[in-house]
Amino acid sequence: MTPARTAALAVVTAAIFSAGYLAWSQPGPAPEVSFSTLSGEKLTTAGLRGKVVLVNFWATSCATCVKEMPELVATYRAYQARGFETVAVAMSYDPPSYVVAFAAQNALPFPVALDLRGEIAQRFGDVRATPTTFLIDRRGRIVKRYLGAPDFTALRALVEAQLAEAG
């Protein structure tokens, strides 16, 4: 390949990557979905408007997910009283009995939802990798998408900023 073609390919690749990155880094509406929690509660993204919401896609077989769970719990506990909600969405391939056991053993204080058919993951941009986490503002707009474990110091600063904003 000629140097000119290599440079052109690099520019096109960078533009495609940037467009994809910007689509997830700029606020956009969260998809309208319904969560069925382990406790039998039905939550919807529309019903969660007015709160700052963290939606975490995870699996019991994901070492990073298991490792970050205490940080998710601590973040939830720190901000819950101020209008912050967390929904942990178990991936469709995760056996429900494993999810129930993990949630009980770790006393997860936030709603845990099963995505038995993968529909929620699909609606959130075809999530396949875990953990993938979305921060949604009070108006129901995605503020940030994290692939892998977030930097929890930066995440908490972003949660603080979102909680300080009026709905």
Residue 61 lies in a domain: yes
Distance of CA 81 to the CA centre of its chain: 20
Which residues fall within 8 angstroms of residue 33, CB to CB, at 6 or more apart?
A: 44, 45, 119, 120, 123, 124
DSSP string, 47-106: TTTTSEEEEEEE-TT-HHHHHHHHHHHHHHHHHGGGTEEEEEEE-TTS-HHHHHHHHHHT
pTM: 0.84
Residue 5 lies in a domain: no
pLDDT at res. 1: 59
Residue 87 lies in a domain: yes
> Parallel, antiparallel, or unpaired: how do β-strands 28-29 and 141-147 relate?
antiparallel
Residue 17 lies in a domain: no
Range of the domain at 48: 29-164
Number of domains in the chain: 1
Average pLDDT over residues 70-93: 98
The CATH number for 133's domain is: 3.40.30.10
pLDDT at res. 5: 52
Which tokens hold the place of 167?
A: 């709905």
Average pLDDT over residues 100-128: 97
Residue 14 lies in a domain: no
With 90 as the cut, is the pLDDT of residue 6 above it?
Answer: no
Query: 1 or 86: which carries more pLDDT confidence?
Result: 86
Residue 12 lies in a domain: no
Query: 4 or 117: which carries more pLDDT confidence?
Result: 117
What percent of the chain clears pLDDT 90, i.e. is strictly above it? 81
Round to whole Å and give the CA distance between 113 and 119: 12
> Parallel, antiparallel, or unpaired: how do β-strands 84-90 and 52-58 relate?
parallel
What percent of the chain clears pLDDT 70, i.e. is strictly above it? 83
